[in-house]
């Protein structure tokens, strides 16, 4: 049944929408829907359905394909990962006390990611992509009474949307070629523009340099949000997209190198940022940027099979770590690395689960990220890049060891606010199991099948020697870190790194403030110049009218009045002799006759 | 049939003149008439089979070859439907109106006839009559039922747009004189485009640009919106602004194709400037209604940009996509901005203030209103799964695909700035701690919900499953691109 593929995103989206409207029974509905969604995802992964549907008229290819949803090998891995992480996190969230709004938003968040990873064309991809961003806004700012959290949500949304604009540009470039289908991108005439747009969008979503700062602010959201946002959704979307369009990146000739270096440098610098953090969630957030950096680099190398393996393993590891951190934040009320001393010993299940996650994150054998990271390294052919990635891997060992040591060392044993609930504990062992064992896909023999599944049939598994070297180095670095945690470091470097390279400060100072200033200036211009000019027109008209009235109208009127007055005066003059007295008429007649007589005499 | 749709509201307005009707009865008649009209429009939609349909041609001024010629096509039908819906919901929203209800209802019914007539008109003179009557009607709405400095705002609105309509009349006369034989009939003018000069395009362009409005002739809009009653603002933004953009698509592009292609760059520049300028100025506003008004300038800028792209010589599919996006944007903007103004009306009803800084934390006292605003804001910033995205995605990809890469990329910044300013508005009014007037705001009443929710529900439907709408618009967009390319 191909059409049932629509159900995969529609079920969580519809249920989420209903929860937002009805505002009740959030947790049970969410768990039931997430379970069903996981079943649908597994079904889709097995049956590989394709639904072709055009949203706009040129949408796909002339034969009607290329637009709509489809599950191929890569998507199959993604839908199962997304649905499983979603279920784990929602089960955990059932143990907290949050309203139906929270569960509804989480379900829509998952649905959006499911659309993103199954879209065949840029429109549907962009739809899932942006809805995911909006949901991250709503979830990060879930506690809306706190202005700082709301601002963090807005910052995350606006930063990722800045990158998203690249996808619009890419869609425009694809449109010039007549089709929005993802698989047609490498053949486009404007593929350079398309690739540039997609790379920017992916770097923004995946919190790679220079966009990394939004992920730090995203920590303002509740812990389950972080657990989902850092594992299988949001940041994973960027890595997924790059892995998906790897042929396009390769076709351009330059985009692959850009992606490789953006990922590698992020892995290196954000790893260092993670080491410098004092707050557990901030440490984990920076480590997410760094770990996603490996996947981003994998898209360019190319090491698609390794990148996808890394994505899956990291999703399990990171959701596990954030859920454990969430437990401590809720129960102990702190996420400060110093304050968490002894936290790992309070509740053995949570402590051990976190331990498994941290050891996996460190790249210690035989856990998952040790193998998956090396599958990416095995495909790297440039020595410089290889070195950067190896160092980035060792830094991962350092920050993981730091986190592990912080929660497992003997501490004061703070008084808990409440007990850890059963729902909160339930997903941890499962996630720990996956976090530990997901590396199995990269075992020689299995890896070729994995490569065929995700569309890279000639994937090369790492050699045993490489694996042993990197595992040994990771163990060594971790051990040194645990021993030397208290060693003093130069404060200035720490400040720079602890402050996430001051990226947010730079973004606010270089972009946000100037834009706000420009907006204010334009608003004043609008009022005081444009509108004043418009208001000036009638004022000018009135002034003109006054001018017309004063000299002209009054002047014309004056002439008329003067004529009238003169006439009146003449009339008055003419009236004066007419007194009605006969003797005067006689006198007047006599005068006139005399004058006439004189005139006659004189003129003749 | 179409003429019944057009004049039914006017007949209802005449009915309101009967003596002895109570306020409640007046509003009920008003709602019934607009609902019946909407039902008729739905029937028109159901029976629409493509091309120009439901045509009526009657003699009117035969000496000038002007007639009563009406009809609908894929360009006008969506706008007619949106108009009928918006007028119905404005009637619903005015259920509690007590101040001179009879005149208010009659005026809105009159405006409805005028707006429906304009979108159906296939004769320039008829179009012009409706164009001017709409200005008159809205003037009385603002001056009679507005608030604040309403007399001044209404006068500014009237004089400014009336001046624009005079330029338009000049342009129409130019079209008439340039046509061989002289005619005002739009169908004839489109079939045989007159060989008119750039001056005619300039006159027509100024007329429609003022109405749209685009930068720099937009300054009548903010005061008119601020001082108009909520329903008046909704109609002004939702329907009256579309007269400008619709005029471009219906008259300027197909009747002056050569000139339009020659000056497409001007439309693109004006569009991009309106997009960015409108968004930036909106970002700096402290008054909710002024903020929404400036986002209208931004949104209409996209339409002008897309119509400009129709005059480029890039890929045909891309140009069709841009035009389809422009029409979708007109519908989407009507729904979403209509909803935003009705929401602003709720705030005014409760606390008599539009200041963003006066509120805060409304999500606690008015969760439903907050939810409605959030959906409207996300629709307005072009978030997928809502109608704004369907419109703007088509516009952006169409404009970039047609070759205007820089213009498209610049205008993309518009959706980023609108996202920022709408999130800021939500934050300041609805989230965070309480403000001075927060205590006076109660949640939406049932009739307010009944007026606002359908607009957003329709936006959601268009955002998720737009084919039913695009199937009507796309053939018209294709035809318009063909006409522009002659």
* Nearest Cα residue to A75 out of A301, A241, A295, A207: A241
Number of structural domains in chain B: 1
Q: Which long-range contacts (CB under 8 A, 24 or more apart) does A76-79 make?
A: A76/A44, A76/A45, A76/A46, A76/A48, A76/A453, A77/A45, A77/A308, A77/A312, A77/A453, A77/A454, A78/A117, A78/A118, A78/A240, A78/A311, A79/A8, A79/A41, A79/A44, A79/A45, A79/A114, A79/A117, A79/A118
CB contact under 8 A, A172 and B321: no
Q: Is A520 on the interface with B (CB under 8 A)?
A: yes
How many whole angstroms separate alpha carbon B454 and alpha carbon B203? 38
For the segment A58-87, what is each residue's pLDDT rounded down to a tens digit? Answer: 655 666 677 889 999 999 999 999 999 999
The angle subtended at Cα A61 by Cα A186 and Cα A299, nearest 5°, is 30
Count CB neighbours of B244 within 10 A.
Answer: 24
- The residue written with tokens 């008649």 in the block is B29
Question: Which ranges constitute the DSSP H helices of A276-367?
Answer: 280-300, 304-332, 343-346, 348-362
Write out B412-459 in H/E/C secondary structure.
Answer: HHHHHHHHHHHHHHHHHHHCCCCCCCHHHCCCCCHHHHHHHHHHHHHH
Which of A237, A519, A528 to mutate: most B Cβ within 10 Å? A519
Chain B, nearest residue to A14 by Cα: B464
Residues linked to residue A50 through DSSP beta bridges, in sequence order:
A70
Phi-psi region of A346 (alpha: psi -120 to 50; beta: other; left: phi over 0): alpha
C-alpha span between B300 and B201 (Å, rounded): 19
Q: Which residue of A has its CA nearest to B433?
A: A145
pLDDT for A492 equals: 59
Q: Is residue B405 part of a domain?
A: yes
Contact A459, A306 (CB under 8 A): yes
**Using the beta-carbon criterion (under 8 Å), do B220 and A172 form an inter-chain contact?**
no
With tokens 């008003």, the residue in question is B30
Å between A145 CA and nearest CA of chain B: 4
Which pLDDT score, from 0 to 100, does residue A61 have? 66
- φ/ψ of residue A574, rounded to 5: -70, -25
Contact present, B382 and B388 (Cβ < 8 Å): yes
Residue A210: asked if its preceding bond is cis (omega within 30°), the reply is yes
- Of A77, A66, A175, the closest CA to residue A119 belongs to A66
Among candidates B401, B413, B431 on the partner chain, residue whose Cβ is nearest the Cβ of A176: B401
**B288 and B326 Cβ atoms separated by less than 8 Å:** no
Say if B472 falls within a structural domain. yes
Structure tokens at B97: 């109106």
**Contact assignment for A169 to B409 by CB distance below 8 Å:** yes
| Interchain CB contact of A126 with B (< 8 Å) | yes
Average pLDDT over residues A166-180: 89
| Interface TM-score (ipTM) > 0.95 | no
Is residue B259 situated within a structural domain?
no
Contact B397 A518 (CB under 8 A): no
Q: Which domain holds residue B305?
A: 271-486
CB atoms within 10 A of CB A559: 10
The alpha carbon of residue A360 is apart from the nearest alpha carbon of chain B, in Å, by: 37
Cβ separation of A165 and B415 shorter than 8 Å? yes
A552 has pLDDT over 90 = no
Q: Would you give the DSSP letter of residue A142?
A: -
* Contact across the interface for A55 and B424, Cβ inside 8 Å: no
Confidence check: pLDDT of A320 > 60: yes
Is B284 inside a domain boundary? yes
B288 occurs within a structural domain: yes
Q: Given an 8 Å threshold on Cβ–Cβ distance, is B393 in contact with A173? A: no
**Chain A residues in contact with B397 (beta carbon < 8 A):** 168, 171-172, 174-175, 180
Residues from chain B contacting residue A171 (CB–CB below 8 Å):
393, 396-397, 400
C-alpha A4: how far from its chain's center?
29
Report CB contact under 8 Å: B284, A193: no
Q: How far apart are CA A195 and CA B420, in angstroms?
A: 26
What does R_g of chain B's alpha carbons equal in angstroms?
21
Stretch among A50-54, A352-356, A483-487 having the lowest mean pLDDT: A483-487
How far is B242 from B51, CA to CA, in rounded Å?
Answer: 21
A531–B219 C-beta distance less than 8 A: yes
Instruction: Give A 175-214 residues with CB within 8 A of chain B.
Output: 175-176, 178, 180, 193
Say how far apart CA A176 and CA B403 lie, in whole Å.
Answer: 8
Q: Do A526 and B396 touch (CB under 8 A)?
A: no
Give chain B positions within 8 Å (CB) of A185. Answer: none
Question: What are the structure tokens assigned to A477, written together?
Answer: 């670095």
Domain-located, residue B310: yes
Question: Helices B77-93 and B446-464: crossing angle, nearest 10°?
Answer: 160
CB contact under 8 A, A147 and B159: no
Per-residue confidence in pLDDT tens, chain B, 486 aa: 899 999 999 999 999 888 888 888 899 999 999 999 999 999 999 999 888 999 999 988 888 888 899 999 999 999 999 999 999 999 999 888 778 889 999 999 999 999 999 999 999 999 999 999 999 999 999 999 998 899 999 999 999 999 999 999 999 999 999 998 899 999 999 999 998 889 999 999 999 999 999 989 999 999 999 999 999 999 999 999 999 999 999 999 999 999 999 999 999 999 999 999 999 999 999 999 999 999 999 999 999 999 999 999 888 889 999 999 999 999 999 999 999 999 999 999 999 999 998 998 899 899 999 999 999 999 999 999 999 999 999 999 999 999 899 999 999 999 999 999 999 999 999 998 898 899 899 999 999 999 999 999 999 999 999 999 999 999 999 999 999 988
In a domain, B129, yes or no: no
- What residues of B are in contact with residue A116 (Cβ under 8 Å)? none
Contacts 24+ apart (CB under 8 A), A503-509: A503/A209, A503/A210, A503/A211, A503/A212, A503/A213, A504/A155, A504/A213, A504/A216, A504/A217, A506/A210, A507/A159, A507/A213
> Which one of A128, A168, A534 has the shortest CB-CB distance to B396?
A168
Contact (Cβ atoms closer than 8 angstroms) between residue A298 and residue A243: yes
Q: What is the per-residue pLDDT for A412?
A: 66
Per the domain annotation, does B109 fall within a domain?
no
* Residue B296 touches partner A, C-beta closer than 8 Å: no
* A549/chain B closest Cα distance in angstroms: 22
pLDDT of A376-426, one tens digit each?
A: 998 888 899 999 999 999 999 999 988 888 888 776 666 777 778 888 888
Comparing alpha-carbon positions, the chain B residue that sits nearest to A108 is B385
Contacts of A175 in chain B (CB under 8 A): 315, 317-318, 321, 397-398, 400-401
> Nearest C-alpha of chain B: how many angstroms from A112?
10
């Amino acid at each position: 049944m191909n059409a049932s593929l629509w159900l995969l995103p529609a079920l969580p989206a519809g249920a989420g929408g209903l929860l937002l409207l009805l505002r009740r029974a959030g947790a049970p509905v969410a768990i039931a829907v997430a379970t069903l969604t996981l079943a649908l995802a597994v079904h889709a992964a097995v049956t590989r359905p394709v639904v072709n549907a055009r949203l706009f008229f040129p949408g796909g290819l002339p034969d009607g394909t290329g637009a709509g949803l489809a599950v191929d090998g890569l998507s199959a891995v993604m839908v199962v990962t997304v649905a499983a992480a979603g279920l784990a996190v929602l089960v955990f969230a059932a143990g907290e006390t949050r309203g139906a709004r929270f569960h509804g938003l989480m379900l829509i968040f998952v649905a959006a990611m499911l659309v993103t990873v199954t879209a065949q064309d840029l429109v549907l991809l962009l739809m899932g992509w942006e809805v995911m961003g909006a949901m991250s806004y709503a979830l990060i700012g879930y506690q809306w009474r706190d202005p700082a959290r709301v601002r963090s949500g807005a910052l995350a949304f606006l930063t990722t949307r800045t990158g998203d604009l690249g996808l619009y540009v890419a869609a425009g470039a694809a449109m010039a070629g007549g089709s929005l289908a993802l698989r047609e991108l490498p053949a486009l005439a404007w593929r350079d523009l398309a690739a540039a747009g997609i790379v920017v969008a992916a770097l923004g979503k995946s919190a790679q340099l220079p966009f990394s700062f939004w992920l730090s602010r995203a920590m303002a959201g509740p812990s389950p949000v972080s657990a989902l946002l850092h594992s299988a959704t949001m940041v994973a979307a960027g890595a997924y997209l790059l892995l998906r369009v790897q042929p396009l990146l390769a076709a351009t000739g330059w985009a692959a190198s850009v992606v490789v270096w953006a990922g590698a440098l992020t892995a290196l610098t954000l790893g260092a940022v993670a080491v410098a953090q004092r707050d557990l969630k901030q440490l984990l957030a920076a480590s997410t940027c760094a770990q996603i950096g490996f996947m981003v680099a994998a898209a360019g190398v190319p090491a698609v099979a390794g990148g996808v393996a890394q994505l899956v393993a990291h999703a399990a590891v990171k959701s596990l770590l954030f859920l454990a951190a969430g437990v401590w934040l809720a129960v102990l009320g702190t996420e400060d690395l110093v304050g968490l001393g002894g936290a790992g010993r309070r509740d053995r299940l949570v402590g051990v689960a976190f331990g498994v996650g941290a050891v996996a994150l460190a790249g210690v054998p035989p856990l998952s990220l040790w193998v998956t990271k090396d599958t990416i390294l095995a495909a790297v052919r440039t020595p410089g890049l290889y070195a950067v990635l190896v160092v980035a891997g060792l830094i991962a060992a350092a920050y993981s060891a730091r986190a592990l040591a912080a929660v497992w060392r003997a501490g004061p044993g703070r008084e808990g606010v409440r007990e850890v609930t059963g729902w909160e504990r339930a997903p941890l062992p499962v996630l720990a199991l996956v976090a530990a064992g997901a590396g199995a896909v990269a075992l020689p023999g299995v890896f070729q099948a994995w490569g065929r599944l995700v569309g890279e049939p000639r994937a090369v598994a790492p050699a045993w020697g490489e694996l042993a070297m990197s595992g040994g180095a990771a163990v060594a670095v971790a051990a040194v870190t645990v021993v030397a945690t208290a060693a003093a470091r130069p404060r200035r470097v720490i400040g720079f790194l602890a402050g996430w390279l001051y990226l947010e400060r730079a973004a606010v100072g270089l972009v946000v403030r100037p834009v706000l200033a420009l907006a204010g200036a334009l608003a004043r211009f609008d009022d005081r110049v444009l509108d004043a000019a418009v208001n000036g027109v009638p004022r000018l008209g009135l002034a003109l009218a006054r001018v017309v009235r004063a000299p002209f109208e009054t002047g014309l009127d004056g002439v008329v009045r003067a004529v009238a007055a003169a006439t009146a005066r003449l009339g008055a003059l003419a009236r004066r002799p007419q007194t009605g007295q006969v003797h005067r008429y006689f006198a007047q007649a006599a005068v006139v006759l005399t004058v006439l007589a004189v005139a006659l005499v004189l003129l003749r | 049939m179409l003429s019944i749709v057009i004049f039914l509201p006017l007949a209802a307005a005449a009915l309101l003149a009967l003596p002895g009707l109570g306020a409640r009865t007046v509003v009920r008649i008003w709602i019934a008439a607009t609902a019946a009209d909407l039902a008729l429009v739905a029937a028109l939609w159901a029976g629409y089979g493509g091309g120009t349909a439901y045509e009526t041609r009657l003699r009117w001024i035969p000496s000038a070859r002007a007639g009563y010629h009406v009809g609908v096509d894929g360009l006008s039908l969506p706008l007619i439907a949106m108009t009928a819906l918006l007028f119905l919901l404005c009637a619903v929203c005015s259920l509690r109106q007590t101040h001179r209800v009879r005149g208010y209802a009659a005026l809105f019914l009159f405006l409805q006839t005028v707006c429906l007539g304009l979108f159906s008109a296939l004769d320039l003179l008829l179009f012009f009559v409706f164009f001017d009557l709409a200005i008159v009607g809205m003037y009385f709405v603002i001056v009679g039922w507005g608030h604040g400095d309403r007399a001044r705002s209404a006068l500014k609105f009237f004089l400014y747009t009336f001046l624009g309509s005079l330029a338009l009349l000049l342009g129409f006369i130019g079209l008439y004189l340039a046509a061989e034989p002289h005619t005002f009939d739009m169908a004839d003018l489109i079939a045989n485009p007159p060989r008119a000069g750039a001056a005619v395009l300039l006159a027509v362009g100024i007329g429609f640009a003022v109405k749209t409005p685009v930068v720099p002739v937009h300054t009548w809009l903010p005061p008119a919106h601020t001082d108009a009653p909520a329903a008046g603002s909704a109609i002004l933004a939702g329907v009256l602004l579309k007269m400008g953009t619709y005029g471009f698509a219906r008259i300027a592009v197909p009747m002056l194709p050569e000139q339009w292609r020659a000056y497409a760059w001007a439309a693109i520049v004006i569009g991009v400037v309106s997009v960015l300028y409108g968004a930036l100025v909106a970002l700096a506003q402290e008054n909710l209604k002024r903020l929404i008004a400036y986002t209208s300038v931004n949104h209409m800028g996209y339409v002008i940009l897309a119509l400009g792209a129709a005059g480029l010589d890039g890929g045909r599919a891309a140009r069709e996509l841009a035009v389809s996006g422009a029409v979708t944007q007109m519908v989407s903007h009507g729904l979403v901005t209509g909803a935003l103004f009705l929401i602003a009306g709720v705030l005014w009803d409760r606390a008599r203030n539009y200041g963003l800084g006066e509120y805060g934390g409304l999500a606690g006292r008015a969760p439903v209103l907050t939810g409605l605003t959030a959906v409207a804001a996300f629709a307005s910033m072009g978030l997928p799964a809502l109608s704004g995205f369907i419109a703007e995605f088509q516009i952006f990809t169409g404009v970039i695909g047609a070759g205007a890469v820089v213009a498209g990329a610049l205008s993309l910044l518009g959706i980023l700035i609108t996202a920022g300013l709408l999130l800021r508005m939500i934050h300041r009014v609805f989230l965070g701690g309480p403000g001075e007037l927060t205590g006076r705001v109660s949640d939406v009443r049932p009739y307010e919900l009944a007026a606002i929710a359908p607009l957003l529900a329709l936006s959601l439907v268009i955002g998720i499953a737009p084919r039913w709408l695009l199937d009507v618009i796309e053939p018209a967009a294709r035809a318009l691109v063909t006409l522009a390319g002659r």
